[in-house]
């Protein structure tokens, strides 16, 4: 296998603030731990900040490495990298790590494993009834260790653990695709996180930073629409918990398309750009200039396709 080595890149210039920041502008301020933010006492202290009373006058300083966020008079620092902290209604992609009594533990990239209860799933065939002891005995036929699924955050327990549910037929076991991990803060919140790209690839952008890229599944001779437009009656409920890929094998072109989209998402995450369906399409179009999919993992290629996609986003 051919191995290529790239020269190290120069570090981007860093601006160090020695005085008060201009809090009235829309400019993004990046701070490091201990760096002063402002000495104006009209601002309230939020997460990621502390008041240094040893100086005269007292100075509001940062306790994290991140960017300064201001909401009215509340100043806080959001970290550049952090684990996922869920909100009710979030669409997440997770992996089953343990099967317990009437519940599954799901890795969603948060501080602790999320919980999917047996009472929070749909039974095969869409039957609406109480879960019986027989259902508990065949829990591994629904989800087993290592299975990847898409779910929604329903609530939180007292200890902060996420409680998931998959009661909609849009939430199911994921097949025919690849798993990509990006920083959670790069995933933009949109009306839908289920996207069918023009290149014949489906993308599920989990707000927890887990992304699922798969071939477009045809149903009745047409492509599935997004989550909002999906007709649940047209979905085969028996396939929700299937471990088998589609009957028709994924051909080489489809595999290359999935791999290309995965590498485009990885390039956007490497350059720390927000990820949504539009910029993925632009990055995919820019990547077509490189026939070899493996070239997309080179640093100079990542910079080029990300820059091209970002320019198209600004000009759109």
Q: How many CA atoms lie within 13 A of 223 on its CB side?
A: 14
- Cα separation values, 104 from 71, 140, 143, 244, Å: 38, 10, 8, 21
CATH architecture of 91-239: Beta Barrel (2.40)
* Tokens at 80, concatenated: 């550049």
- Cα separation values, 197 from 23, 123, 234, 262, 269, Å: 40, 30, 20, 13, 19
Query: 51 CB contacts (<8 Å, ≥6 apart)?
Result: 45, 58, 59, 60, 61
Domain 30-79 fold:
OB fold (Dihydrolipoamide Acetyltransferase, E2P) (2.40.50)
CA terminus-to-terminus distance, the chain: 40
Measured CA to CA, the distance from residue 178 to residue 265 in angstroms comes to: 12
Question: Could you tell me if residue 264 is left (phi over 0), alpha (psi between -120 and 50 degrees) or otherwise beta?
Answer: alpha
What does the radius of gyration of the chain's CA atoms come to, in whole angstroms? 23
- Evaluate whether 30-79 and 91-239 have a shared fold: yes
Measured CA to CA, the distance from residue 249 to residue 78 in angstroms comes to: 45
- The pLDDT score that the predictor gives to residue 182 is 94
Query: 246 CB contacts (<8 Å, ≥6 apart)?
Result: 175, 176, 215, 217
- The pLDDT score that the predictor gives to residue 69 is 86
Query: 69 CB contacts (<8 Å, ≥6 apart)?
Result: 46, 75, 76, 77, 78
Measured CA to CA, the distance from residue 15 to residue 27 in angstroms comes to: 12
Parts of the chain with a pLDDT under 70: 1-27, 125-128, 218-239, 246-249
Measured CA to CA, the distance from residue 245 to residue 303 in angstroms comes to: 35
Q: Where are the domains of the chain?
A: 30-79, 91-239, 252-315
- The pLDDT score that the predictor gives to residue 107 is 95
């Amino acid at each position: 296998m051919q191995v290529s080595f790239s020269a190290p890149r120069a570090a981007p210039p860093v601006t160090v603030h020695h005085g008060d920041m201009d809090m009235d502008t829309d400019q993004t301020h990046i701070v490091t731990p201990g760096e002063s933010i402002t000495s104006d006492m009209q601002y309230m202290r939020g997460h990621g900040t502390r008041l240094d009373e040893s100086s005269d006058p007292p100075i509001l300083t940062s306790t994290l490495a991140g960017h300064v966020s201001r909401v009215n008079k509340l100043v806080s620092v959001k970290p550049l990298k952090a684990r996922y902290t869920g909100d009710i209604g979030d669409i997440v992609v997770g992996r089953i790590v343990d099967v317990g009594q009437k519940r599954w533990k799901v890795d969603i990239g948060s501080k602790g494993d999320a919980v999917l209860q047996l009472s929070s799933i749909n039974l095969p065939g869409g039957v609406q009834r109480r879960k019986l002891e027989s259902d508990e005995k065949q829990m591994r036929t629904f989800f087993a260790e290592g299975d990847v699924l898409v779910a929604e955050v329903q609530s939180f327990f007292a200890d902060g653990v996420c409680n998931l549910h998959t009661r909609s037929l849009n939430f199911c076991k994921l097949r025919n695709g690849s798993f990509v991990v990006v920083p959670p803060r790069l995933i933009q919140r949109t009306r839908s996180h289920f996207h069918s790209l023009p290149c014949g690839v489906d993308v599920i952008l989990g707000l927890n930073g887990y992304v699922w890229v798969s071939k477009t599944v045809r149903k009745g001779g047409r492509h599935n629409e997004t989550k909002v437009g999906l007709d649940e009656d047209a979905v085969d409920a028996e396939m929700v918990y299937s471990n088998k890929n589609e009957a028709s094998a994924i051909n080489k072109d489809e595999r290359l398309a999935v791999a290309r989209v995965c590498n485009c998402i990885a390039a956007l995450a490497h350059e720390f750009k927000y990820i949504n369906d539009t910029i993925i399409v632009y990055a995919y179009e820019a990547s077509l200039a490189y026939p070899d999919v493996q070239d997309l993992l080179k640093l100079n290629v990542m910079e080029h396709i990300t820059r091209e996609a970002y320019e198209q986003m600004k000009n759109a």
